[in-house]
Amino acid sequence: MRKLAKQSKIVLKISSDIYNETYVPYLQDERYLQIFFGGSSSGKTVFLTQRCIEDIISGQRNYLIIRKVANSLTSSVFNEICKTIIRYKLSNFFHINKQTLIITCKTNSKQIIFKGLDDQEKIKGVSPINGVITDIWGEEATEFDRESFFQLKKRLRGQSSVSKRLTLSFNPIYKTHWIYKEFFTSIHWKDSDKIYDGKDLLILKTTYNDNRKFLESDDIYNLENEKDPYFKEVYTYGNWGILGKAVFTNWKIMDLRLLVKKFDNIKNGLDFGFTAPTAFIRSHYDKEAETIYIFKEWSAKQAQDTATFKALYSICKREVITADSNDPKTRESLVAMGLNIIPAVKGKGSKNFGIKWLQGKKIIIDPTCQGMINEAYTYQWKLDKNGDVTEETIKKNDHFWSALRYSYESEFGERVYSWA
């Protein structure tokens, strides 16, 4: 039983039964960098929300919680924090502002502030009303590019009575990701490892087997019966992925900041999401060099039309956007608000034709487009029972690349109107 003293002589008594046992030793861990990763439904996010609420109510810490895109916060970690407050029966002790995405403890004015990496200027100006930011938690950290991560470290400054902490949580995706290279190769991490206990670095790997408090039977069944070897390694076993047959191999990463002002043949593509994220991609096409330069991306899960409009209008104003034609209602709504969206033609054979067209180009991706990079590694062809590549792609990790394919339909020629 943990006791958390609060101002006004209020004491919280929290039963240890509320925690998954694996995580209990890390409730008060003070190490500077903490990495919680592993398979889906492992309970890591729930644990980190529990720790966050207890830290805030104790009056010791202020949190800055980060995701790559601000619009994805409400439907993910913000909601999880609110659920934990309700689960702890602490609603009367917190003020939850859904407009500013700031949660304030009424008894001590400590705060949880939510921001997206898509607005770096607002992150620079973050300042809680009582004290300084002591904790930064980056959720779905594999979405972050390396430079953004190191910029985050600069936000942990100012005097504090407790140690500063930077926490990352994510599902591992592929061993060439910068997070793996930065933190796992130097310690010679093996798939069989569960924990790394360093002086200033904690790494904890968990899977669904570590989560017996908050897991549904359907989750267990789906994870244990995953057919694709890559997804089973990553999402069931929590291992860093070793990729199979990637759809695209004709790409590389390059800093495009100095070139963007010269780009004059801009293409914008949009893939609407339902349960999957809505994904937007912006690129420049050098037709003579047959090279595509991808320099801007945006995505959000379950984004409202108004939020999508504001985000995309700020990027491309009234420029043409070619969008998925499977959701005319959303497209028409965004057009009514002021976006210039045309539907992708698509049709029989269009997907593979578009993929082959893109495969024939050189593709350069700016390092800030981490979502595009992640998909470039993980968008794969289906294999048959003999392990041979089929002509069908796995319908996962393809949202940015679908958006890119739509945006180049105008370059495909007459065949776009008469698919074989």
Statement to judge: residues 35 and 182 lie in one domain: yes
| CA-to-CA dists, residue 98 to 74, 102, 358, angstroms | 8, 7, 41
Distance CA 327, CA 271 (A): 9
How many domains does the chain divide into? 2
**Residue, of 174 and 9, whose pLDDT is higher:** 174
Residue 171 has a CB neighbour count (10 Å cut-off) of 18
pLDDT over threshold 50, residue 42: yes
> Is 166:32 a contact under the CB 8 Å cutoff?
yes
- Residues 248-256 have a mean pLDDT of 94
The answer to which of 187-196, 203-212, 214-223 has the lowest mean pLDDT is: 214-223
Residue 413, pLDDT score: 64
Statement to judge: residues 201 and 313 lie in one domain: no
What CATH number is associated with residue 84? 3.40.50.300
9 in a domain, yes or no? no
Statement to judge: residues 80 and 172 lie in one domain: yes
221 in a domain, yes or no? yes
329-338 contacts: CB < 8 A, separation 24 or more? Answer: 330/272, 330/305, 331/272, 333/305, 334/305, 334/308, 334/309, 337/305, 337/306, 337/309, 337/313, 338/309, 338/313
Distance CA 39, CA 21 (A): 17
For 78-103, how does the pLDDT look when each residue is reduced to its tens digit (9 = 90+)? 999 999 999 899 999 999 999 999 99
- Residues 149-175 have a mean pLDDT of 89
For 118-144, how does the pLDDT look when each residue is reduced to its tens digit (9 = 90+)? 777 777 778 899 999 999 999 999 999
13 in a domain, yes or no? no
Residue 214, pLDDT score: 80
Statement to judge: residues 171 and 275 lie in one domain: no
Statement to judge: residues 136 and 194 lie in one domain: yes
Statement to judge: residues 203 and 67 lie in one domain: yes
Statement to judge: residues 228 and 275 lie in one domain: no
Distance CA 187, CA 19 (A): 29
Residue 10, pLDDT score: 55
286 in a domain, yes or no? yes
Last residue of a domain, one of 206, 236, 266: 236
pLDDT over threshold 80, residue 4: no
**Which pLDDT band, with edges at 50, 70 and 90, does 59 fall under?**
very high
**Structural domain span for residue 386:** 251-412
6 in a domain, yes or no? no
Statement to judge: residues 350 and 401 lie in one domain: yes
Residue 6, pLDDT score: 44
Statement to judge: residues 139 and 274 lie in one domain: no
Statement to judge: residues 263 and 296 lie in one domain: yes
pLDDT over threshold 70, residue 350: yes
Last residue of a domain, one of 210, 236, 262: 236
Question: What phi-psi label fits residue 72: left (phi over 0), alpha (psi between -120 and 50 degrees) or beta?
Answer: alpha
pLDDT over threshold 60, residue 341: yes
- Residues 31-55 have a mean pLDDT of 96
Mean pLDDT computed over every residue of the chain? 89
**Residue, of 117 and 166, whose pLDDT is higher:** 166
What CATH number is associated with residue 275? 3.30.420.280
* The two structure tokens encoding residue 58: 């104790």
pLDDT over threshold 50, residue 1: no
14 in a domain, yes or no? no
419 in a domain, yes or no? no
Last residue of a domain, one of 201, 236, 271: 236
For 264-319, how does the pLDDT look when each residue is reduced to its tens digit (9 = 90+)? 999 999 999 877 789 999 999 999 999 999 999 999 887 788 989 999 999 999 99
Statement to judge: residues 133 and 40 lie in one domain: yes
The answer to which of 12-16, 231-235, 379-383, 398-402 has the lowest mean pLDDT is: 12-16
Residue 391, pLDDT score: 83
Give the position of tokens 């010679």. Answer: 188
3 in a domain, yes or no? no
The pTM for the full model equals 0.77
For 384-416, how does the pLDDT look when each residue is reduced to its tens digit (9 = 90+)? 777 777 888 988 889 999 999 999 999 986 544
Statement to judge: residues 224 and 311 lie in one domain: no
Residue 415, pLDDT score: 46
